[in-house]
Chains A and B, each alone.
Chain A
Amino acid sequence: MWQLADKKISSRLLIGSALYPSPDLMKKAITASGSEVVTVSLRRQNIASAKANAGEGGNDFWNLLQKLNLNILPNTAGCHSAKEAITTAQMAREVFGTHWIKLEVIGDEYNLQPDPFATLEATKELISQGFEVFPYCTDDLVLCQKLAEAGCNILMPWGSPIGTGKGLLNPYALKNIRERLPNITLIVDAGIGLPSHATQALEMGYDGVLLNTAVAQAADPIKMAEAFKFAILAGRNGFEAGAIKEKNLAKPSTPTIGTPFWHQS
């Protein structure tokens, strides 16, 4: 078990609920992943076709998700200012009944890079309103330090831009954040493509990984969800076990004493 905000949970995988081929596959993949935290969003109700679209969101989706009995992490995806994000967070708190919020304030439309200034501004306000803020941020150390100083218990630096599947583009920066902020819960959010990317994050001491596309858009989402479950377990065990130090010089693992055919020259 580990502590995520005010909850004790087992899995270190946080999973998204978007982009699955069907609601049934979403449900099965989330279950197969073993995740106990699922991300959701708020969107405009399509007034003209609310009933026709019921299967794509709204009450049907929310009822299905509630049956899984998971921790809900609403996001502010699509917000481009602190004001929009704060209002969306307030609306999410009412709809989903949780003070957890995955704060996303996009600064660049092309690579969906979070706006560090607006993210910090919104974080301060939301914390003052009693939210547990999970900020989606870049891997900039100073930004992460400022967010921690603002009162964040959890930080979620990106591995690479959302949906790219490029993995951890800057392991140096991510390791640096881990070393410098040892008491903050750190979760790599976004850019994960392969189970090995998740393993890498956990091996470097990250507390968890948040992903969506890598599972939802895999040819077999259920099998990929299971692959991530084991990859994350492997990475965490590897971290806890204490890895050997990397060396330049080869050192035989088989004993040299008693080597056959050896003789003094």
Chain B
Amino acid sequence: MITLQLNGEKKTLKAECSIVEAINVLQLDDKSFAVAVNEEFIPKSAYADVFLKEGDRIELLIPMHGG
């Protein structure tokens, strides 16, 4: 079991897993989003290769109104 921060909220996963697996487990359904782990941008092409670890801080951002 690992605990991490997803958009500032605590989330638990059964084990260390890739970003692709985490997206499925957490049922994130927005099509347009980008991911950063510990303030580092992770391109979509790397989702299968980056494994989330205990204490990781994940930002999952979606398009929003802006000025």
Q: What residues of chain A have their CB less than 8 Å away from a CB belonging to chain B? A: 16-20, 26, 39-48, 50-51, 56-59, 61-62, 65, 74-75, 77, 83-84, 87-88, 90-92, 94-96, 162, 212-213
Contacts and interface: CB of A to CB of B under 8 A. Distances in A.
Interface residues of B, number: 28
Nearest to B29: A50
A57 B34 contact: no
Interface in B5-34: 6-9, 26, 28-34
Contacts of B56: none
15 contacts: A18-B65, A41-B67, A45-B28, A47-B7, A50-B29, A50-B30, A57-B64, A58-B32, A58-B62, A77-B67, A87-B36, A87-B40, A91-B41, A91-B61, A95-B32
Contacts of B28: 45, 47, 50
Nearest to B41: A90
Contact of B61 (A75, A95, A162): A95
A17 B66 contact: yes
A39 B67 CA distance: 6
B60 A45 contact: yes
A168 to B, nearest CB: 18
A47 B59 CA distance: 11
Given A44-B8, A59-B30, A83 B39 contact: yes
Nearest to B38: A87
